[in-house]
Amino acid sequence: MKPPYYAVIFTNTRTSIDEGYAAMALEMEDLAKEQPGYLGFESARDRLGISVSYWESLEAIASWKAVSEHEFAQKEGRRIWYSWYKVRICKVEREYEFGG
């Protein structure tokens, strides 16, 4: 990815209910990959979950948020899987990495 681009950072804590979570997470990742402006995805979980999706534009992010299947997953997340979450949308202006 060549900057500038946008990152949606989803930080969360889970409830003890796991019913259907893994399947929904995979479905959302696959669906996001089909969206215009999608650039990539990274995720890590220990006690705190952090998922970052990368997008070409703010418009692409808004379109993804409005996809009906994604809206359903968001509602289920609030109802069942997450006890807390925060979403941050950031513009990435620079990046560098080490190693391979």
CA–CA distance, 28 with 36 (Å, rounded to integer):
14
Mean pLDDT of 32-61: 97
For 14-78, what is the HEC assignment?
Answer: ECCCCCCHHHHHHHHHHHHHCCCCEEEEEEEECCCEEEEEEECCHHHHHHHHCCHHHHHHHHHHH
pLDDT of res. 100: 81
What pLDDT, in 10s, does the model give residues 13-34?
A: 999 999 999 999 999 999 999 9
Q: What pLDDT band is residue 96 in, cutting at 50, 70 and 90?
A: very high
Map out the domains of the chain with their CATH numbers.
5-92 (3.30.70.100)
Token reading at 44: 């890590």
Token reading at 17: 């209910």
CA–CA distance, 16 with 80 (Å, rounded to integer):
9
